[in-house]
Structure 1
Amino acid sequence: MSQSKVEKTRARLAKRIQEGAYYEAHQQLRVLAQRYLKAENYEAAIDILFSGAQALLQAGQGGSGGDLCALMVEAYVQGRVACDAESKARIFTLMSLIPPEEPSLRKFVKEAGDWSATFSPYPAGDPELHHFVGTLYSLTDDFIRSEPHLLLGTKSSPDTLAALLYRWYTNSLNPPPTPLSPSTPPQPTNPAIYLSRALLPYLLLRNIRDATRVHALFTTSLSTSQLNYASQEVQSATCDAKVFPDLPLVNFLGLLLLACQRGGADLYRSLKAHYAQQLKEVPAWEEPLEQIAEMYFGIRVQRQPNLFDMMGGLFGGGGGGAGGAPQLGAPPQPPSAELD
């Protein structure tokens, strides 16, 4: 079909959507798209699916629009469309139109992530796509779904992640009058637990830059917000550090970050020994710390767990959304090769 015919078909179906014939338009769009895919006319399939999904979503038809979004990604895969600015722009436009509670959003996110992992240089998925999805989830305080995407995002992601984790922490200080469900555990109120959800995974990913950024932003919030935790600036010839007399585990994480950049095995052992009593409060930190000890200080551990399996066992955080409660000291869901 020529481009002019595609445009006429698109205009006709857009008119049907404007008239409220949502089901009919949705079915016709699917049939047309499948016809184009069978003929390997991927450009026409993508064109008709993008415009149709956009029109349905703007009309409040989240389910039908989301279905066409997933089919558009299928057209990307079949057509071996590169993960570039143009192809991502379509995805960003459509994702921003899907209501956060719409179930089709999760499917769209996952399939877009699978595509970007295959057709971009990034086996874990395109960082810009991760950042967009993580930021999108953060707008509704969907902490659990947001943080793994932000961990694999761009250099802008740590700012969003630090704000998200600090907001999650402050929410824990003012829980809702009634739990979301009888099985929802209380959220821990130690800020180090929330900071660890970014700092430990970043260290495991050898991302010192973003670990440092999140630590700086989170601890600044601790000392300058209404909570106003007392802090002291400690300066030396080689570094500056902020120490919180009332938050020993926050201090441990800050010193761990510095040690990973400048220290050796003896310093790490001394750090662990100094905070041994406090570390008993966060048993979920034990395995990531063992892995960090080997990665940065050459201290070998007796067993060699698969990194993602290890993180998967630790990074559970309860249910999604603002009601999800992190395990004591647990970082987030493991970064994976799939978005969501």
Structure 2
Amino acid sequence: MTSKGTEKTLQKLKKSVEDGNHYEAHQMYRTVARRYTKQEKYRDVIELLHSGAVSLLKAKQSGSGSDLAVYMIETYKLANTPVTEESLDRVAELLELYPSEEPGRKPFINNAMNWSRKNGNNEMGDPELHNFVGTIQYHEGSYSEAEKHLLFGTEESAQLLGDLEYDWSLKETSITKGVFIARAIMQLLAMKNIHYANLAFTAFANRLDASEKIGAVPYKPAPADDHVNIPIYQDSLINFSQLLILTAQRDGADHFRSLKSKYSPAWSKENGFDFDEALSDFGLVFFNIQKPRNQGNVLQDLMSNLFGGPAPAAGGSRRVTAPSSTGTELD
């Protein structure tokens, strides 16, 4: 809770914004924030800057509002503010107010993500924050940016990722649908997120037309299990994605080598994604098959795109128990 003096200042500055004195209010917010920071009254600084950013963004003063929003995140870092529902809610409220075209939104997102990495429980950034950002960008049609965040999000993110890859495939018709879901599945599996890969694949497959399925084959998830029928698709990389998930759920190093050999003609460096490198990451993570020395790391590349730095070791973010298996022996 803010002090009485701070509350009075908040009301005065809010009134200044409402009266159209945007520049003066913006400068006063910064002046008061600096004074409170010197006094180490970080809670008051955060409340002040959040209130100011909200008021200015609502007044369509996105540049000034963005400046205060970034200042708030810098104060989060200075005060070592933990990632809590309250601190995340402030960030989410501001993100909802940002116009998509505001140049300051990306620095705000980057700063918020870096704060959540250092002050939260996840080295990849807070999953709820990734989900919130990715969802906004998905609905704006910014599929490439949204994908980067949904890969590190929640169960909801994984399902939305499947929808995103399908929608993206409709937009980029020169590339087969299977390329999109295969790229997402391999990146999730590089982080050992088998459950999330299943969720993404299921969401994607549910969007496919019946005409894109050409039959079903029997599959035994384990030697003692009964056979189940799983669908097969016209697009070989959709079949490949399903098989890769199944391979991750069993001790199938030999099956993986066979899978890689069989499907290698179906891919290339599509849409800026190196499938061979991703498959090598998969083999290392699940079967300790060493990679060629000249190859990079898909997870590190993704983290570099997001944060400009290296990633933690593969599998270090979250390990989720896999659900029931769903298929093999596909063309």
Letter in 2 for 1:218: F
SS in structure 2 at match of 1:231 = strand
**What's the counterpart of residue 275 of structure 1?**
263
Pair 1:11 & 2:5 matched? no
Q: State the Cα distance separating 1:260 from its structure 2 match.
A: 1.5
Letter in 2 for 1:89: D
SS in structure 2 at match of 1:234 = strand
Contact 2:162 2:204 in 1 (8 A): yes
**What's the counterpart of residue 172 of structure 1?**
172
Q: What CA RMSD, in Å, does the superposition of the two structures yield over aligned residues?
A: 2.6
Q: State the Cα distance separating 1:266 from its structure 2 match.
A: 1.8
Mark the runs of 5 or more structure 1 residues left unpaired by the alignment: 174-187, 317-331
**What's the counterpart of residue 255 of structure 1?**
243
Matches of 1:82 and 1:89 in 2, distance apart? 12
**What's the counterpart of residue 206 of structure 1?**
192
The number of aligned residues is 303
SS in structure 1 at match of 2:45 = helix
Q: State the Cα distance separating 1:39 from its structure 2 match.
A: 0.8
Q: Aligned ranges for residues 214-253 of structure 1 at < 5 Å?
A: 214-224=200-210, 228-238=211-221, 239-244=228-233, 246-253=234-241
Q: State the Cα distance separating 1:125 from its structure 2 match.
A: 0.9
**What's the counterpart of residue 293 of structure 2?**
303
Matches of 1:41 and 1:120 in 2, distance apart? 22
**What's the counterpart of residue 46 of structure 2?**
46
**What's the counterpart of residue 326 of structure 2?**
none
**What's the counterpart of residue 37 of structure 2?**
37
Question: TM-score w.r.t. structure 2 length?
Answer: 0.84
Q: Deviations over 1:39-80 (max 9, x none)?
A: 100111111111111111111111110110001111111111
Letter in 1 for 2:241: L
Which protein has greater RCO, CA pairs closer than 8 Å, 6+ apart?
Answer: 1
Contact 1:148 1:333 in 2 (8 A): no
Matches of 1:247 and 1:95 in 2, distance apart? 38
Q: State the Cα distance separating 1:106 from its structure 2 match.
A: 0.6
In structure 2, relative to structure 1, the CA distance for the partners of 1:219 and 1:335 (3 Å cut) is farther
**What's the counterpart of residue 56 of structure 2?**
56
In structure 2, relative to structure 1, the CA distance for the partners of 1:333 and 1:40 (3 Å cut) is closer
Letter in 2 for 1:147: E
Contact 2:190 2:299 in 1 (8 A): no
In structure 2, relative to structure 1, the CA distance for the partners of 1:36 and 1:162 (3 Å cut) is same
**What's the counterpart of residue 152 of structure 1?**
152
Question: TM-score w.r.t. structure 1 length?
Answer: 0.82
Letter in 2 for 1:32: V
Q: State the Cα distance separating 1:128 from its structure 2 match.
A: 0.7
Q: Deviations over 1:190-232 (max 9, x none)?
A: 01111123101001001000011111111221135xxx41332
Mark the runs of 5 or more structure 2 residues left unpaired by the alignment: 222-227, 313-331
In structure 2, relative to structure 1, the CA distance for the partners of 1:135 and 1:208 (3 Å cut) is same
**What's the counterpart of residue 225 of structure 2?**
none
Q: Aligned ranges for residues 35-184 of structure 1 at < 5 Å?
A: 35-173=35-173
In structure 2, relative to structure 1, the CA distance for the partners of 1:304 and 1:204 (3 Å cut) is farther
**What's the counterpart of residue 184 of structure 1?**
none
Contact 2:161 2:200 in 1 (8 A): yes
Matches of 1:293 and 1:217 in 2, distance apart? 25
Which 4+ residue blocks in structure 1 deviate beyond 6 angstroms? 332-338
Letter in 2 for 1:298: N
SS in structure 2 at match of 1:65 = helix
SS in structure 2 at match of 1:302 = coil
